[in-house]
Every structure is written in structure tokens, then in C-alpha cells.
């Protein structure tokens, strides 16, 4: 019987080099994983990957898990003004996964009409990125029909946002700003802006200039990158089911 505990696993009979190619095709086909969603799939990825492969057996997990966590840049979108939920969904990226990721790209959505201070947003999940090697940050901001060029960032307004992130990633992490032209991260940022804000026809939403983000980060006083990295034992311990003090619950779209 094929489902018998003693059934042969033909994959393990292949040469190690060929198994490695299969793992890469299943777990890191492009080197970038964008966390998306659709009407049919609440939790989707672009491209499609097969993390369930790691649950097949212990040997496959040992051979292939590093490919999933180390060879992919995981791209996520975060509502920078949302005080209802943690900035990262535990159902999508639980803590044990966050702790192993080495490359992350975060798209900060600063287009929301509800303008909470960045200190009130739960940034704790980023403290779990203790293995992080590269961290790419880009900002989505509104652009009026009369405005030309990227939306200007403000050191006074946006420096605290950059600070919240940099304090929570390891001090040794290489920080990059903006997305590369034509990259999967840039396409994901465009997809997210269109999907999230398509009803706001009076404005368009685009990435802010990378050089502006560098200048804003440089304006942060007494920044200690990594000072909050790994300091929270359980980054999802707080209850975020409802908005504290709010009379109306917001409909929070999680990506």
C-alpha cells in the first residue's frame, strides 16, 4: 500500500544533487516570496511554494528547510497606522518562522486615513527576526493628481517609523531602501497599492524615493539598531482582537 508507514520514498533514492534541485524548485523557485491573498485563497504566495514538503519526513526537513528560510526574500506589506493587530500576522509568519528568515522586504503602507502614532502600533513581531541578514524597506505614500514625482517624506513624521523597525532588527543586518526597478518586490508594492486603495480615485499611491528614505533614517537621533532585537519572548502574546478604546471595529485587511 502506498500509504503504508513502510512505503518507499523514491525521492530519497535520488542523488543528493538532484534532490537539492527539487527542493529549490519547490521552495525557492525565484528567490522571492510575496505574501498575497485573493478571493479564493486567503493565504497565497507569489510564486506558489510548497512548505508542506518540509513535513514529509525528518530527513527532508533537515535537507530542505534552509532553502526555504535562507534562499528567499520574504516580501510583506504592513499597515503602518493599524493599532488593531500585530504588524505581522501570526497565522502567516509564526514566530518560529520569523526567527529563521534571513532576507525580508517590508512595504510600509502609510496611506491610511486612520493616522495612529507609530508608537501605538505593535511592531513586536519584527523583534523575532533574529537571523536577519538583509532588510529592505519601502514606503507607500499618497500622491495627489497635481503632484509630480514621489511623495516627499518628512523627517519629523517618518523618522519615528523607520526607528521602530531598525531598533528591532539585528545590529548586523544590512538595511536597504526602496525596491529595485523591475523586481518582484516592486511589482508586489504596485499590486498591493492598487488592491488596497483602488477605491480612492482622487489619489494614486506609489513608493517614496529611496534617497529620501535614507535621509529620513539618517535624521533619527540616537538610533541604536538592534537594541530591541530578540527582547520579546513571545512577540504575539498581546491580544489584538479588538482596537483598544475604539467604538467601531475597523476592517483590517491582512496580507
What confidence tens digit (pLDDT) does each residue in 191-236 have?
888 887 655 544 566 788 888 889 888 888 788 999 999 999 999 9
pTM for the model: 0.84
Answer yes or no: is pLDDT of 167 > 90.
Answer: yes
Contact 128, 232 (CB under 8 A): yes
The grid coordinates of residue 229 equal 532585537
| pLDDT computed for residue 42 by the predictor | 76
The rounded percent of the chain whose pLDDT value lies above 90 is 52
Average pLDDT, the chain: 83
Model confidence band, residue 111 (pLDDT cutoffs 50, 70, 90):
confident
Amino acid at each position: 500500500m502506498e500509504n503504508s508507514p513502510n512505503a518507499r520514498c523514491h525521492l530519497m533514492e535520488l542523488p543528493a544533487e538532484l534532490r537539492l534541485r527539487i527542493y529549490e524548485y519547490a521552495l525557492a523557485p525565484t528567490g522571492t516570496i510575496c505574501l498575497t491573498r485573493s478571493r479564493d485563497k486567503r493565504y497565497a504566495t507569489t510564486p506558489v511554494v510548497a512548505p508542506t514538503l518540509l513535513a514529509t519526513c525528518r530527513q527532508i526537513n533537515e535537507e530542505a528547510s534552509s532553502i526555504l528560510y535562507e534562499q528567499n526574500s520574504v516580501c510583506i506589506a504592513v499597515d503602518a497606522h493599524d493599532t488593531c493587530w500585530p504588524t505581522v500576522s501570526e497565522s502567516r509568519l509564526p514566530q518560529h518562522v520569523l526567527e529563521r528568515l534571513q532576507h525580508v522586504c517590508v512595504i510600509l503602507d502609510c496611506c491610511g486615513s486612520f493616522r495612529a502614532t507609530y508608537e501605538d502600533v505593535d511592531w513586536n513581531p519584527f523583534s523575532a527576526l533574529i537571523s536577519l541578514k538583509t532588510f529592505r524597506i519601502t514606503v507607500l505614500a499618497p500622491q495627489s493628481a497635481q503632484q509630480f514625482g514621489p511623495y516627499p517624506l518628512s523627517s519629523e513624521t517618518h523618522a519615528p517609523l523607520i526607528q521602530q523597525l531598525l531598533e528591532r532588527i539585528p545590529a548586523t543586518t544590512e538595511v536597504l531602501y526602496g525596491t529595485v526597478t523591475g523586481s518582484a518586490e516592486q511589482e508586489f508594492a504596485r499590486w498591493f497599492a492598487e488592491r488596497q486603495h483602488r477605491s480612492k480615485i482622487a489619489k494614486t499611491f506609489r513608493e517614496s524615493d529611496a534617497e529620501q528614505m535614507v535621509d529620513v533614517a539618517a535624521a533619527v537621533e540616537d538610533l541604536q539598531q538592534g537594541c530591541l532585537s530578540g527582547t520579546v519572548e513571545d512577540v504575539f502574546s498581546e491580544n489584538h482582537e479588538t482596537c483598544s478604546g475604539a467604538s467601531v471595529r475597523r476592517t483590517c485587511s491582512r496580507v
